[in-house]
Structure formats: C-alpha cells, structure tokens
C-alpha cells in the first residue's frame, strides 16, 4: 500500500505517495474510498470523466477529492478505481470507474463532508510525490 489513514479529533487524514502526480492522485482517491467504505469491492460498469482545476497541486488534490465526494453524494456513484489521464499545473483530467451506489452492497463506514486545506501538504521529495489531506467528517 502506498497510503495510510491518519486519525484526528473531528477529522480524518490521509497520506498518499506516488512516483508521479498521476499516481499520487490515484492513491489519494483510493484512500478516500477506503475512508468512506472500507475495503469493499464493486463493479466497473460506470465510467465518469472528470476535469478539475486549481492554482497549485494542493488545491488540485482537494478539488479532485471533493469532486469524487460530489459524484457519490449527488449522483450516487460508488467509486471502484481511478486513473489520471493528464495533469498539469492548473488542471487534472481523470476517469473514475464504478457502479451505482447500493447501501446493502456498499455500507458507508464514515460520512465525509469534504476534503479540507487543514495541514494540506503536496510535495516532491527525493523523487517521490507525497500528500497529506484532512477530511471533514
């Protein structure tokens, strides 16, 4: 695993790492999925293209995670896997594979309101991208 979950009083944090920004964003999305649902599998019969913008890698990551939350909360998409098609200084384009959310098959372990900027960190050190993001529960 290239991510871990961090406990916090009213929040929960996640740390992710990857050899590229693409891998970092994908791992952070997997960590968010685990916070929401634990280790539950699903089908990949839905594919949703996402494009989010931001002023820097940190804002991009927060916006990316919040868009995944939006897809779950508003459109009822249970995310299974994530891939990043393109990423640059101000935008990330990716694909989310999943299925329609069914509470009996996908029990929610934690309700996440949003990814936050609290102690946000996105950096490249010694050739590895690392991120820390706290989620408002």
Which runs of consecutive H residues, i.e. helices, occur in the chain?
21-37, 57-75
CB burial of 66-93 (b: ≥16 within 10 Å; e: otherwise) equals: bbbbebbeeeebbbbebebeebeeeebe
CB burial of 33-43 (b: ≥16 within 10 Å; e: otherwise) equals: bbbbbeeeebe
Q: Summarize pLDDT for 36-46 with one digit per residue, the tens.
A: 999 877 888 88
Q: What are phi and psi of 45, to 5 degrees?
A: -95, 0
Give dist(CA 46, CA 1) in Å, integer.
Answer: 25
The pLDDT assigned to 133 comes to 97
Q: Summarize pLDDT for 92-106 with one digit per residue, the tens.
A: 999 999 999 999 889
Q: Where are the beta strands (DSSP E) in 43-127?
A: 46-53, 77-87, 91-100, 114-115, 121-125
Structural domain count of the chain: 1
- pLDDT (average), residues 42-64: 94
Q: Summarize pLDDT for 103-135 with one digit per residue, the tens.
A: 988 999 999 999 999 999 999 999 999 999 999
**CATH of residue 120:** 3.55.10.10
Give dist(CA 104, CA 9) in Å, integer.
Answer: 29
Q: Which two tokens stand for residue 118?
A: 């609290």
C-beta neighbour count of 11 within 10 angstroms: 18
Q: Nearest-CA neighbor of 82 among 117, 118, 49?
A: 49
Domain span holding position 71: 3-136
């Amino acid at each position: 695993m290239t991510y871990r979950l961090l406990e916090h009083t009213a929040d929960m944090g996640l740390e992710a790492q990857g050899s590229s920004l693409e891998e970092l964003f994908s791992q952070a999305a997997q960590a968010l999925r685990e916070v929401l649902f634990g280790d539950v599998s699903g089908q990949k019969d839905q594919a949703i293209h996402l494009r989010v913008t931001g002023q820097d890698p940190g804002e991009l990551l927060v916006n990316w995670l919040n868009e995944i939350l939006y897809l779950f909360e508003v459109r009822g998409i249970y995310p299974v896997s994530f891939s990043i098609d393109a990423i640059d200084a101000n935008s990330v384009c990716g694909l989310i594979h999943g299925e329609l959310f069914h509470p009996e098959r996908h029990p929610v372990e934690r309700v996440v309101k949003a990814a936050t900027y609290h102690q946000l960190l996105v950096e490249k050190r010694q050739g590895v991208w690392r991120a820390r993001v706290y989620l408002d529960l």
